[in-house]
Each structure stands twice: as C-alpha cells, then as structure tokens.
Structure 1
Amino acid sequence: MRRVFIGLITVSALWATTAASAQNWGDRVKQMVGGMNGQASADASARGLPQSEVAAGLKAALADGASAAVTQLGQTDGFWGDAALRIALPGWMGRASSMLRTAGYGDQMDALQLSMNRAAEQATAEAGPIVRETINQMSMADAYRILQGSDTAATDYLREHSGDQLASRFQPIIERTTAESQAVARYEALTSQAKPMLKFVPGLNLDLNDYVTQQALDGLFAVIGQQEARIRANPAAAGSAIARKVFSTTSN
C-alpha cells in the first residue's frame, strides 16, 4: 500500500528519473510525507505541498476508485453480468444444484439467482454517499496510516469504517427488492420442497436477505480493491484534479 500512494504522490518524478536514481526520489518522498507525522513539515511546505493537500490527494484517489466500483456494480448486470462477481445460489442450494435441476427446479433456481443479483445491484447503487462520507471523515493520521499500510489498506479502511452502515442501508433495499420479485418466497418454497431430499445438508434455514447483503458488500469491496490495484499499477489513472495537483507539485 505504501508503494501505491508513494507512486501516486511521485508519479511525475518517476517519469523524470532512472532506475539508478530511484533511491533519491524515494528519499524526497519520505521527507515530504514525513511532515504528516511531524518530521518534515517545513520540507513539505517548501515544496508547495501542504499536509492538507497531501491528505486531500490520497482521499481523491480513494474516492475515484470507490466511485468507479459503485458505478460498475450499481447498474443493471453489474453483478449478474460479471461471472466473477455474480452472486451464487446459497451454499446448500449450490451444492445440491445438479440434484435439484434433475428434480425439475432449474427454472425456479435461475429466477431466484437473477432476483438476488438484481437486489444487490439496486442496493449497491445507493452506496456512494456513505462511501464518500467515510472518505471525507478520514483524518490526517488515517491518510498517513493508509500511506504506510498494507497492500489493501485503503480498501480495508473503507470496509472497517463504512461496512456496518452500508449493510444497514443495503438491507431494506434488498428486502424490498426480493419481496417484489418474490425471491424470498421462491427460496422458502424450494427449501421446503428440498428438505426431504436434503435433510442432512447444513444451512437450509439461511436468511436469504442477510446472504444477499453480505454478498453485495463482498462484491463492492472486491471491486474497490481492484480499483486500488489499478491505481497501484498505473498512478496516472487517478484522475481527480486534486490528485493531479499533488502529482505535478511533487515533480517540481
């Protein structure tokens, strides 16, 4: 994670240096961000990069990635259209899929799975304000810890600080959507019909709405993590104005 944001803050310098001088620009960056914990604020100011703008640049890069994730998933086929993110049938049903299809429940299972993914898409579309508020509330110390943190520090921060609030926001949307689509009714009917065949299979009494909520959250943070990796691999991909300002200032 440290390399991601160090790369973000020093992208212009990277273009102007060679591999032989990597240690030099690395030292300059350490001096600049050291101001965030009281070690080199004078140097940061001398470069025209106040601590507040360093933090703002980090927030902007994180906001860009999170916004892209919400946009990607919060539209029709955001989950359903991506095989890697599509919400699977609940565990017991997935494990017994072949048996249930052979018994004639295939169409019902397909309709149930589609309804679950549509519910997740509608819920995720509402995630933006909560994610933005969480990022806005990030302190200077939070930004510095993310800068110095693990490869998933930004994503982990968002999940820790917004996960519960997002779950609370998602749950009623998912409940309403699954009720309108009769997904819960389908699930309960299938469960009831399958019990004689699957009485020894665990998880038959799973709460479908809780399941979809957790799967939606997992998908959202997985894509935020992918966006984080994209910025990590290509710092110039962080397109916010404040982030570009940070990049250009550090190349001076």
Structure 2
Amino acid sequence: MKKIIVLLLALPLSSCAEMQQVINQLPEIQGIGGVDISGGLKEALNNGISKQVTKLTATDGFFKNEVVKILLPEELKKVDSSLRKIGLNSLADEGLKVLNRAAEDAVKEATPIFVDAVKNMSFTDAKTILMGNENSATNYLQNTTSTALYGKFNPVIKNSFTKVGADKVWSNIITKYNSIPFVKKVNPDLTDYTTNQAMTGVFKMIAVEEKNIRTNLNARTSTLLQKVFAMQDKK
C-alpha cells in the first residue's frame, strides 16, 4: 500500500478527477487488514452456482421446486383454461411441464455462462454490498449482468425448446386453442418468457446460498469466506 501511495504522489496529475481515475484503475483492496471483500463475495456467488443452481439441472429441478417453478404467463392462462374445458387436460399439463423441462436443460448448458459472469464482474463498492441485506451480492449480480446474460442464455433456451420437444407441444397447443370458435388468437414468444423465468430462477437459487453463507458459520467453507463474512457479523 505504501508503494501505491508513493506512486500516486509521483504522478504529475493536474486535477482531483485525474487522481480519482488512477485510483479507480488500481487493484481493488477493500476491508479491514486488506481482506479481499470482492473475492469473498465472488466465492459466495460461485458457491451458489455450484451448490444450488446445479439442482435446477436435474429432472424436475424447476418443475417440482415451488420457489422457481415456471408457471404460465397471464396471456396463456386462458389458453390453459379453454383446453381443459374441451377435455384436453393432458395437453395442457404437458405444455406447462415442457416449459420447465426446457429451463432444466438450458441451465445445464448455460451454467458456465453464469460462472464467467461472476468471474468477470467488478464490484463498485464491495464493502457496502457485504454490509447489505441477505441477498445483496446476488442482486448486484442480477442488476449488472442480466442484459448480457439474456443475450447468451436466450439461444440456449431456444435450442432446449427443440431438444425437449417444447416447440412442437406448444405449436400444437396454440393451434388447438386458436381453432376454438370466437377466441382471441394468441401467438406468445415463449422462448423470451422462459428465458426470463429461468434466469430469475437461477438468481433465486444463488440467493439461497448467499443467505446460507451470511447466516450459517458452517457454510463458510474457506478461509476467505470466514474472514470476509466475519466482517459482516460485526455490523
């Protein structure tokens, strides 16, 4: 740290703004005694991916998990209801299941996307996030990476729709519904909807592990996690 200060003093900076710019480019050193808060938060998020998000990739990982289960969007609830009224209960049930199957398959393929997002993210104020609520780090990840993640995750969902047969099932459902007399025809973008719902589910599961690490000493399985979240305990 002394070397950094000497370096800053030696630089011919003409304004406070330039000084701040140089500081912003320095390696992030935050916390008491130089504890790497940013590194600790990233480790907590990575644990959320490895311990919780992987549960979503199993059969029924979404479908039988009430926290993240993908339900029909509002515009399709009338489709579901109408199909059941004309005796197509099994088709309606299958439509809901295949949305969740597509998400389960896609998360399996997309887990490295979320790992890379955590690895490459930069915390603007790691100490404030550490001292925040039980899912502050997860919220920060969601707020700062969702747009980029969507662009990468959407094609994976689209591929998974084909892989699990969801596209055929829903094509059949929409065709059946639109053939019912006097109904208002629908043409939903289920790839977009499922992408957003699957991403929401991923962030919810990461938050589960973040809360666990914040509240359960035994969940802090590394020296870094122990040091970083001990600081949070003292707030």
Quote how far apart the aligned CAs of 1:249 are: 10
Q: Cα 1:232–1:98, aligned 2, differ >3 Å: closer, same or farther?
A: same
Q: Is the 8 A contact 1:60 1:240 kept in 2?
A: no
Q: Does 1:77 align with 2:82?
A: no
Aligned to 1:230: 212
Residues 90-128 of structure 1: CA distance to partner in whole angstroms, max 9, x if unpaired?
333334534321312212122222221111011112343
Q: Does 1:187 align with 2:174?
A: no
Q: Is the 8 A contact 1:131 1:158 kept in 2?
A: no
Residues 182-240 of structure 1: CA distance to partner in whole angstroms, max 9, x if unpaired?
32233233223223357358xx2211111111110111112222222222322431323
Aligned to 2:51: 68
Q: Where do residues 1-252 of structure 1 align in structure 2 (5 Å cutoff)?
A: 36=30, 44-45=32-33, 50-51=34-35, 53-139=36-122, 141-195=124-178, 196=180, 199-200=183-184, 204-244=186-226, 246=228
Structure 2 counterpart SS, 1:86:
coil
What number of residue pairs does the alignment pair up? 204
Structure 2 counterpart SS, 1:124:
helix
Structure 1 counterpart SS, 2:143:
helix
User: Gaps (5+ residues) in structure 1?
Assistant: 1-34
Aligned to 2:7: none
Structure 2 counterpart SS, 1:126:
helix
Residues in 2 aligned to 1:89 and 1:125: alpha-carbon distance in whole angstroms: 22
User: Gaps (5+ residues) in structure 2?
Assistant: 1-28
Q: Is the 8 A contact 1:171 1:210 kept in 2?
A: yes
Residues 37-64 of structure 1: CA distance to partner in whole angstroms, max 9, x if unpaired?
xxxx7xx33xxxx24x333223222221
Residues in 2 aligned to 1:90 and 1:246: alpha-carbon distance in whole angstroms: 40
Residues in 1 aligned to 2:191 and 2:232: alpha-carbon distance in whole angstroms: 48
Q: Cα 1:191–1:247, aligned 2, differ >3 Å: closer, same or farther?
A: closer
Residues in 1 aligned to 2:182 and 2:70: alpha-carbon distance in whole angstroms: 22
Share of identical aligned residues, percent? 33
Q: Is the 8 A contact 1:134 1:161 kept in 2?
A: no
Greater relative CO (CA pairs within 8 A, separation 6+): 1
TM-score, length-normalised on structure 2?
0.72
Q: Cα 1:92–1:232, aligned 2, differ >3 Å: closer, same or farther?
A: same
